[in-house]
Structure 1
Amino acid sequence: MGFPSSGTFEVDLVFPRNATYTPQALMPVVWALQKPSMAPPLASYITWSLWEGNNHSSPGSIDGGLIELRDEDPADERLISKFFNTMEYPDGYWTLTWSLELSNCSQYTGPSHTLTRSGSTVFTIHKSGQEPDLVAATSASQCGAMEAYAFNVTSFGSACGHLGLTPTTNPCAVNISSSAASSLYASATASACAPNTPVNPNVTCPTSTSTSSASNSASRSRIATAPALLMLLVWGINLILIG
């Protein structure tokens, strides 16, 4: 698939916001890429960190997260999600910091230069909080509160982009439907339940197909054996009567 020759590339932090949420076994962090096909030729990536309280090494913290935006996605929008467990830390505030980095070759004749845009948000976890709602986060009444960075790419160089004047961001162009939100959670559940993944006791994992098949096979075996046992019983009774 070919890359676009120019356009506006935008990254939006959809969730979380500066609000209070209930404890979650799968608490989402979601970014949206607008014109995601422009991400690979810009050599772009996201770094992120998350910590509870004011201690970067506190239990549950995530440091040095890296998301490389290499996929050639022809869609107008792409969602990127990460999930973490706040059930073990039901009360307190969390800080999320993130940076978007891309290669900017504008006005340079030598090697391309890295352009960085950074954001952060502080949110609270408490039993009295609201449930995370990804659909509502992109509604007309809430979409304007997203952290967003947009870039006017006029052309591409070698693994970098030539940038024009900074465009106005348009976070309200992002839309997360109920089915899209469900898909993100289903993927997170599958990841949490994958073999060799540390057990999250607060995530309910679906019964595996192999286990169900084995159970069904055993049931069929018991059903098939019942008529044979009945025939043996009748045969034994007949022998007794004849004797």
Structure 2
Amino acid sequence: MRFTPLSIFSLACWSFLHSGGAAKEETGPTGALQIDLVFPRNETYSPSPIMPIVFSFRNTELLPFLRPTISYEVWNYDNFSADAARGDIEVPSVNETTVNPHIEFKWHLHHFNTEGTWKASFHIRWIHCYVSPADQGRGELDMLDVNETDIGVIFTTKGTSKEIDLVEATSKNCSSPVGTTIKVTDSMRTPFSSSAYDQDVCPVVASPPIEADSCDVTLDATVASSIDAAMTSWVCNEFWETARPQEVNCSSQKEEESTALRSVAGGVTYLAFILGVLVLI
């Protein structure tokens, strides 16, 4: 695991620190944000016309402060020169009604509808603040940075092509959990206002983050059905019949879409589930 602070801002609140006018102390939430790769795991699956990438976020009250994002690439392990499947999961939108843990996903068409071995690399970034010690005659500096950690998994597709059964695929614990836990130990006043970070307080985190040690989030039939319906809806609405994978059944898509998409808050394209659809082992 690599832990690389990527400084995006290094602004010293010099005038504030030395003006003698201290703002009222504000505090933010503390605790541990757990980010887990729910699917795929380090296992073997049937080739699939549509392959989802599923993450869970636990302790969602920390999301507006840490503002985590995930970018990823999935490569053909036997041919790294081939095009990779790429994607981004932006900061999850949550509120007081959000189920904890919260789930986000994206999906990919065609890449995984064949036998092969695949390497998925995920880059998780989050915002944090810290105090840079006094140095060379200057005082302490309040800093706002972005940290990054990289995680990954290798999985295999083998056998006859069919759609993924997410209930079965996530129903048991796994030998190689993939994820990270970011521990927020304190908070401090945000050094400056910015379009990149609009919170008044900023999290102070422990370093480095903690690697996942269990696969304790599973998907029940309700959430799996909603994911399947959303993926099917996309294929059936965005592609002509001649361009659709033959394994995708669009005959009852309209009825399934109507049921599934009513479960989505605010019409979010990549479902941000607010239902009680996660089961913890």
TM-score past 0.5 threshold: yes
| Shift in Å, 1:23 | 1.2
Over 3 Å counting, the alpha-carbon distance change for 1:126 and 1:120 in structure 2 is same
Match of 2:19 in 1: none
Report Cα offsets for 1:33-86 as digits up to 9, x if no partner: 112332232121001001224444525x323x2211140243211112222235
Match of 1:5 in 2: 29
The structure with more helix, counted as a fraction of residues: 1
Q: 1:11-160 residue pairs with structure 2 within 5 A?
A: 11-58=35-82, 61-63=84-86, 65-73=87-95, 74-86=98-110, 89-108=113-132, 109-127=141-159, 132-139=164-171, 141-143=172-174, 145-157=176-188, 158=190, 159=197, 160=202
Percent identity for Structure 1 against Structure 2: 25
Over 3 Å counting, the alpha-carbon distance change for 1:132 and 1:177 in structure 2 is same
Q: Is contact 1:21-1:130 (8 Å) kept?
A: no
2:215 matches 1:193: no
Structure 2 alignment gaps of length 5 or more: 1-26, 133-140, 191-196, 255-281
| Shift in Å, 1:18 | 2.1
Match of 1:175 in 2: 218
Aligned amino acid, residue 127 of structure 1:
G
| Shift in Å, 1:177 | 1.1
| Shift in Å, 1:91 | 2.1
Q: Is contact 1:39-1:70 (8 Å) kept?
A: yes
Aligned amino acid, residue 223 of structure 2:
A
Aligned amino acid, residue 37 of structure 1:
E
- Matched position secondary structure for 1:39: helix
Over 3 Å counting, the alpha-carbon distance change for 1:92 and 1:35 in structure 2 is same
Over 3 Å counting, the alpha-carbon distance change for 1:89 and 1:168 in structure 2 is closer
TM-score, normalised to structure 2's length? 0.61
Over 3 Å counting, the alpha-carbon distance change for 1:143 and 1:69 in structure 2 is farther
- After superposition, the CA RMSD in angstroms is 3.3
**Counterpart-to-counterpart distance in 2, 1:88 and 1:173:** 25
Match of 1:163 in 2: 205
Over 3 Å counting, the alpha-carbon distance change for 1:137 and 1:104 in structure 2 is farther
Report Cα offsets for 1:166-221 as digits up to 9, x if no partner: 56856454232121111111111112223468943332224576xxxxxxxxxxxx
**Counterpart-to-counterpart distance in 2, 1:185 and 1:196:** 17
Match of 2:138 in 1: none
> Radius of gyration: which is bigger?
1
Give the number of aligned pairs: 205
Q: Is contact 1:10-1:149 (8 Å) kept?
A: yes
Structure 1 alignment gaps of length 5 or more: 210-243
Aligned amino acid, residue 249 of structure 2:
T
Match of 1:205 in 2: 250
- Matched position secondary structure for 1:98: strand
**Counterpart-to-counterpart distance in 1, 2:230 and 2:126:** 27
